[in-house]
């Protein structure tokens, strides 16, 4: 499903160069719930954004379902993000002057909305428990509710992969539990591949794939490595 091969990413920060990723190689099988964990500044989010084609690696290859992200043109990247990837951010990042249902429909605004799309958006909001709040603006929703809108926005396109960056980072534990409960249910129903960056290991189940990053390098323990290999064979 997702193959990352010797990916390096460096940034210029003033006079110095920061090496965020220093040669990461990993495989995430289709339909898995994968976590990327590690300390702050270890390169977790950078790897996640590269998987979403939000930026290009300095070197290495990333292949998602046979598509080489590093060889994509700008337009192909746009299509990839629009049709195949769903994003969930720590800070929810809803558009403040759009209603919940309009936020869910954001990927389709440039192309124009159809009644079918609007029906799907309302259905998704209902699935995440916000059926009665479709016309609410973000400021009228709690943090947990906003994150559920963001989940619906990520899922409206029925993506192959959902990428989540600390999705419970700004939520209390109850709201965090609710978000993971929804994510796991939707992943089970749709067989979507989920890749989640987190600090909080409470939400990791024994069957989940865990990729631990430290100083820009992948540090995977033996049991997880074995599971990765099994996953790769599947």
Reduced to 3 states (helix: H, G, I; strand: E, B; else coil), residue 233 is: helix
Long-range contacts of 225-232 (CB under 8 A, 24+ apart): 228/26, 228/27, 231/27, 231/28, 231/29, 231/32, 232/27, 232/29
Candidates 18, 72, 98, 175; binder of another protein (CB under 8 A) is 98
CA distance 125 to 195: 21
Q: What is the x/- site pattern for another protein, positions 131-160, by CB under 8 A? A: ----------------------x---x---
Q: Which is nearer to another protein, 83 or 158 (CB)?
A: 83
Q: Tell me which stretch binds another protein (CB under 8 A): 95-103, 116-124, 194-202, 224-232.
A: 95-103
- Rounded to a whole number of angstroms, the minimum distance from the CB of residue 232 to another protein is 28
The backbone torsions φ and ψ at residue 16, rounded to the nearest 5 degrees and listed phi first, read: -110, 160
Candidates 93, 127, 187, 214; binder of another protein (CB under 8 A) is 93
CA distance 128 to 186: 9
Under rule CB under 8 A, residue 119 binds another protein:
no
Sheet holding 193-198, edge to edge: 85-88, 161-165, 193-198, 33-37, 209-214, 217-218
- Rounded to a whole number of angstroms, the minimum distance from the CB of residue 49 to another protein is 5
Kind of pairing between the strands at 85-88 and 161-165: parallel
Q: Which is nearer to another protein, 55 or 68 (CB)?
A: 55
Under rule CB under 8 A, residue 221 binds another protein:
no
Residues in contact with another protein by the rule CB under 8 A: 49, 52, 54-55, 74-75, 78-79, 81-83, 87, 89, 91, 93, 95-98, 102, 106-107, 109-110, 153, 157
């Amino acid at each position: 499903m997702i193959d990352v091969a010797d990916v390096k990413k460096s940034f210029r920060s003033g006079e110095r160069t920061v090496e965020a990723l220093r040669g990461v190689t990993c495989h995430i099988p289709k339909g898995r719930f994968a976590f990327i964990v590690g300390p702050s500044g270890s390169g977790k989010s950078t790897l996640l954004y590269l998987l979403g084609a939000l930026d290009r690696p300095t070197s290495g290859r990333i292949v998602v379902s046979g598509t080489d992200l590093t060889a994509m043109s700008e337009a192909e990247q746009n299509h990839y993000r629009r049709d195949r990837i769903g994003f969930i951010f720590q800070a929810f990042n809803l558009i403040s002057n759009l209603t919940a249902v309009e936020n869910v429909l954001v990927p389709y605004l440039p192309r124009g909305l159809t009644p079918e799309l609007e029906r799907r958006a309302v259905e998704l909001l209902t699935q995440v428990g916000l059926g009665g709040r479709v016309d609410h603006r973000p400021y009228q929703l709690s943090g947990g509710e906003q994150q559920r809108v963001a989940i619906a926005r990520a899922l409206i396109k029925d993506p192959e992969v959902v990428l989540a960056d600390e999705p419970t980072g700004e939520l209390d534990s109850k709201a965090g539990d609710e978000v993971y409960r929804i994510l796991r249910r939707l992943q089970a129903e749709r067989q979507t591949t989920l890749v989640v960056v987190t600090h909080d290991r409470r939400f990791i189940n024994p069957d989940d794939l865990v990729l631990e990053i430290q100083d820009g390098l992948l540090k995977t323990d033996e049991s997880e490595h074995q599971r990765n290999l099994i996953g790769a064979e599947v």
